[in-house]
Amino acid sequence: MVELEELLKIAGAPIDARTRDSLEISLQLARAECALSGIDRAKPLELLRQIDKSLAKTLTLLQTLEKHDGWHDICFQIYVSGDGAAVAVSPKGLFEGNLRLPRNPPSPKRRLRTLEADGTLIAVNARALLLDIQDEINRGVKPIKGQPPKADKAACVHYAENFFVHHSPHKVSTDPKSRFVEFCEYFYAAVVGAAAQPGAIAWHVRKSRHRRTGD
pLDDT digits (tens, 9 = 90+) for 165-214: 999 999 999 999 999 999 999 999 999 888 888 899 999 999 888 776 65
Domain ranges for the chain, please list them: 4-213
Q: Are 63 and 113 in contact (CB under 8 A)?
A: no
When pLDDT is cut at 50, 70 and 90, the band that residue 43 belongs to is low
User: Is residue 66 over pLDDT 70?
Assistant: yes
Radius of gyration of the chain (CA): 19
Task: List own/partner pairs for 71-77 with CB under 8 A and 24 or more apart.
Answer: 74/126, 75/125, 75/126, 75/127, 75/128, 76/123, 76/124, 76/125, 76/126, 77/123, 77/124, 77/125, 77/126
pLDDT digits (tens, 9 = 90+) for 75-131: 999 988 888 888 888 877 776 777 777 778 888 777 766 778 888 989 999 999 999
pTM: 0.55
